[in-house]
Amino acid sequence: MLTNQMDNRQILNFYKRQIENDFLLFWEKAVDEKNGGIFTCFNNQGTELVSKNKYTWSQGRFIWLWSRLIQMIEKGEISGDQEQLKRQALNACNFLKENVFLDNGNCAYMLDEVGNKMRSKEGVYDSSIYADCFVVIGFAEYAKAASDENFLQLAFNTYDNIITRVQLGNFRTDPYPIPQNYKAHSILMIILNVTAELLTAARQFRHTKSKEFEMRIQNLINDILNKFCRSDFTICEMMPSQPNNELLARHVNPGHTLECMWFVIDAAKKINILDKVVDKVAKIAMKTLELGWDQEFGGLLRFVDYKGGRPTGDKKGYAYEQLIIDTWDTKLWWPHSEALYSTLLLYYLTDDKVFLDWYRKFHSYVFSTFPNKDRQVGEWIQIRDRQGKPIDKVVALPVKDPFHILRNFILIVELLYPMVEEK
């Protein structure tokens, strides 16, 4: 597999079919044609819409997906109704533009069906800066797809607000606050991804902010690979101000690490430093795969100790600790989709067959575990226990989010399409 032209075409067509014949069919039915945006509060089986509330996090992601698909259809990479996607993406952009922003420029975490702002369980509107980040990438990608500089400027304004809040430490990440004596890898990686997305859009519009984005990318990559990476090539998900033996400091999030490594690759390509970082990225990814793979049941564990196995260490009562303890051995949809893309990408970058072997292992596990057996419903049953059986649990948001799987399928198609079509 993936060793000649026919193999590349076969795997390209496989993921094209996944996008066109499964995921688009599921999610097109969830679009809110009346108010704008998309409904995502489905049960794990995808059979019931349990709420029409709209989490900003998912709305921004939806806009990114639809906007990217519009551009892929334009280039002939996939098939689809481009005009319908354009209309739905614009409606979602307008829905957020009109409803999501607070007076301080922050984004509300959640809106109801018609756009009224809703308080989070913690009693605030702007309870997670991640929501703002996904609004930015949604607007930026739509700006590219529609050549709409107005939404690009709105993305820039929101981004500048994010950067100021992070620099001042004036932001929330509910329901799992970052303890004061820790810095979170997740903040660096999301800002890296957002900045790289904005750089592409800024270059398309020949905007002067490109240089700012290039410099920030360089600094973020340096921090991730040199400050948050231990000497054993594990990424410290929560870095304490002083070394300690706490559970929070010891744990590794394999899915986040693999996702971040392709973020680094993507961003490094854009500022022409890929050759300087690819070897270390490959070592980090390899270490993560070895640590994260469940030797007993297969698949990627949600959390592990940096020495391997069940997370361990001193407990201090942080909310995030309990999540790690309770769910460390669950098998979630998003890390597995990240593993499919990151292993395939690293195989082509490094020509190291070990990454191809890992891709094959994940492909076999993923497509025998996650896809909904009821093809009339489709998509994946996204949340599984250690043995791969469906479980009804809330992960981060009480939604069936379209983002990770579809994004990684899109990226695989974009990776393989030039190899197949240009020969």
pLDDT tens-digit map of 401-414: 889 999 999 999 99
Residue 388 placed within a domain: yes
- Report the amino acid identity of residue 301: L
How far, in Å, CA of 193 to CA of 100, rounded?
A: 22
pLDDT for res 88: 98
Cβ(99)–Cβ(115) below 8 Å: yes
Whether residue 205 is predicted with pLDDT greater than 60 in this model: the reply is yes
Is it the case that residue 172 has pLDDT exceeding 90?
A: yes
- The answer as to whether 209 is a domain residue is yes
Question: At residue 332, does pLDDT exceed 70?
Answer: yes
Pick from 303, 259, 412, 260: nearest CA to 348: 412
Beta 238-240 vs 182-184: how paired, if at all?
antiparallel
pLDDT score of 2: 47
The per-residue pLDDT for 293 is 98
Domain contains 288: yes
Using pLDDT thresholds of 50, 70 and 90, give the confidence band for residue 196. very high
pLDDT tier at 1 (50, 70, 90 boundaries)? very low
358 pLDDT higher than 50: yes
The upper half-sphere exposure of residue 327, i.e. CA atoms within 13 Å in the direction of its Cβ, equals: 18
Query: Strand pairing partners for 102?
Result: none
Higher pLDDT, 391 or 220: 220
Q: Across the chain, what does the average pLDDT equal? A: 95
| Beta strand ranges found along 236-374 (DSSP E) | 238-240, 251-252, 304-305, 331-332
Looking at the domain assignment, is residue 423 inside a domain? no
Q: Give the burial class of 10: count Cβ atoms within 10 A of its Cβ; 0-12 exposed, 13-18 middle, 19 or more buried.
A: middle
**pLDDT score of 207:** 96
The predicted model gives 354-366 an average pLDDT of 97
- What mean pLDDT do residues 368-397 have? 89
CATH number at residue 351: 1.50.10.10
Is residue 55, in this structure, part of any structural domain at all?
A: yes
Strands (E), 324-414: 331-332, 383-384
Q: With cut-offs at 50, 70 and 90, classify the pLDDT of residue 204.
A: very high
Q: Domain range spanning residue 314?
A: 5-416
pLDDT tens digit sequence for 246-279: 999 999 999 999 999 999 999 999 999 999 999 9
Has residue 422 been placed in a domain?
Answer: no
| 422 pLDDT tier (thresholds 50, 70, 90) | low
pLDDT tens figures, 118-145 = 998 778 999 999 999 999 999 999 999 9
The answer as to whether 421 is a domain residue is no
Q: Does residue 360 belong to any structural domain of this protein?
A: yes
Taking 60 as the threshold, does the pLDDT of residue 6 lie above it?
A: no
> What's the domain count of the chain?
1
Q: Answer whether residue 213 shows pLDDT above 60.
A: yes
Count of CA atoms in the C-beta half-sphere (13 A) of 86: 14
